[in-house]
Amino acid sequence: MDSPNHNHQHTPNRFGVIPTPVRLNANPDYTGKGVTVAFLDSGFCPHPDLITPIDRVVAYQDLTGERRSLFSTEPVESWQWHGTQTSIAAAGNGQLSNGFYRGLAHESEVVLVKVSEHGRITEENIAKGIQWIIANRERYNIRVLNISLGGDEDVPCSRSIVDHAAEEAISQGIAVIAAAGNSGAEGRHSIPPANSPSVITVGGYTDHNRLNGNKLDLYHSNFGMTADGTVKPEIVAPAMWVAAPILPGTKAFERAEALSRLAAAVDYELPDLPRQLRETAELPEQVANSDGPRIRAYVDATLQQEKIVAAHYQHVDGTSFAAPIVASVVAQMIQANPALTPGAIKNILISTADRIVTEPVIRQGFGVVNARRAVELAKTELHALNVVGCKPPRVENGRLMFVFHDDNAHSVSVAGDFNEWNHVATPLKRNESGLWFTEIVVRGTGRFEYKFIINGHRWIEDPSNGMKAPNNYGGLNSVLVIE
């Protein structure tokens, strides 16, 4: 790909958005260095934010054979934009913004796997993509997989080839992060692999592009109980006002450059420059030949309407971008502690999240990702906490085996239908590995709701059990079913 010309500024314009590391107050000492993050998506292009000054793309695979090389000379296709934007939202170094719009994992290595065929994505190709990543995980040291697309419908895990592949990837040591989807307003639930029990499913929120603002609102992410009874998502991340690249080699890219030149022009360059750039910037003739104030007003309105925040970037929305932001946090966590397992990663993310108190719990899971707190806890984590499978954990032949992880807890107990919600009747004991544990014999079969009580007063759901049900207090209870 040819380098872009440099007769324009790379810094953000006055409609710029908050860079993700600043928005999340992330620890700048962790950049994903030494960690490989894989992205399974519709398509990719060789963007400077991934390949300049160092090419960090260690592998590219097109499962359909359409574009066998990332550096193909074929014309840019529309379906390449999504994967390019999601991968750079997580791992881009901001090369075309002077480093301003870089991801949290901007020193990670990346693996790009294209699964679309002429823009069409099937569950078979998603599953094949995950299997390719599993087969090549050791070769490329793949520790994180981001999937910002999904299958056809919410079905039980046991019937989904995508869910089976995702669960296998997790069992092989790969943390799998999936976008929840954007149809929550229509009442839709997450689809494979976002409905898979062990996957970290990410919904979205918006801070309205205000730094340190107190007002957070949820995005219209898919949410609710899946066909297996698991409640999704587990966590929410920024899904609006996220900076992402405009696809190089497109008219949109050239237009954004031209509009950015006009926005930065000094008065004496007007009105000659608009006439020179009229075609590329798609200026109406009457605007190109008008006075400076009218030209500036048109350019500003167009930048805002087209969501252009710098010469080569726009702001985007959707859980497709919330998920890779969480994937980049996971890369930071693994850099801080390479021994982390997928189970430990998931537990840390949800135990350090902050709920939006004004929003329904069922729509946000455990709340807003806290990047700095997650990395700090990751540094000292020693437990595997591996729970993988298509069924809720710890239910075997009528015996309930509760395991809870909180190194800062002084006491832990469990209360539920099986002990008449007595918060002191069933204490957990810390075992030699530092985990809290108890085992209860439940007579008969049935459905049981429960919660953990930490230090005698903090009631929370079981972080490792995705099956939940709304309670009468505006929150959720964990659910176990004994058959």
DSSP annotation string for 205-241: EE-TT-TT-S--EE-----EE-TTSBEE-SEEEE-SS
SS3 460: strand
Q: Give residue-wise pLDDT tens across range 129-154.
A: 999 999 999 999 999 999 999 998 89
Q: Give residue-wise pLDDT tens across range 149-171.
A: 999 889 988 899 999 999 999 99
Cβ–Cβ < 8 Å for 30, 336: yes
What is the band of 405 on the pLDDT scale with cuts at 50, 70, 90?
Answer: confident
What is the band of 230 on the pLDDT scale with cuts at 50, 70, 90?
Answer: confident
Quote the CA–CA distance of 303 and 312 in Å, as a whole number: 12
CATH no. for 395-482: 2.60.40.10
Predicted local confidence at residue 474, as pLDDT = 84
Predicted local confidence at residue 4, as pLDDT = 46
Residue 195 has pLDDT above 90, yes or no: yes
Say how many C-beta atoms besides its own lie within 10 A of residue 291's C-beta: 9
> When comparing pLDDT for 7 and 120, which is higher?
120
Predicted local confidence at residue 182, as pLDDT = 96
Dihedral of alpha carbons 447, 354, 200, 377, sign: negative
Whether the ω angle into residue 193 lies within 30 degrees of 0, i.e. cis, is: yes
- Beta-strand runs (E) in 233-288: 235-238, 242-245
Which option is the CATH number for 20-244+315-380: 3.40.50.300, 3.40.50.200, 3.40.120.10, 1.10.3720.10?
3.40.50.200
Helices vs. strands in the chain: H and E counts, helices first = 15, 22
Say how many C-beta atoms besides its own lie within 10 A of residue 20's C-beta: 26
What is the band of 3 on the pLDDT scale with cuts at 50, 70, 90?
Answer: very low
Q: How far is CA 27 from CA 50, 114, 355, in A?
A: 21, 31, 21
Cβ–Cβ < 8 Å for 341, 384: yes
Q: Give residue-wise pLDDT tens across range 292-310.
A: 999 999 999 999 999 999 9
Say how many C-beta atoms besides its own lie within 10 A of residue 249's C-beta: 16
> Could you tell me how far CA 164 lies from the centroid of its own chain?
20
Nearest alpha carbon to residue 21 among 32, 5, 9 = 32
Residues with Cβ within 8 Å of 24's Cβ and at least 6 positions away in sequence, in order, are 104, 238, 325, 329, 369, 370, 371, 372
Cβ–Cβ < 8 Å for 96, 48: yes
Domain coordinates in residue numbering, the chain: 20-244+315-380, 249-311, 395-482
Predicted local confidence at residue 395, as pLDDT = 64
pTM of the model: 0.91
- Please report where in the chains the tokens 């970290």 appear, as a residue: 200
Dihedral of alpha carbons 335, 340, 346, 351, sign: negative
Say how many C-beta atoms besides its own lie within 10 A of residue 227's C-beta: 16
Average pLDDT over residues 182-202: 93
> When comparing pLDDT for 442 and 1, which is higher?
442
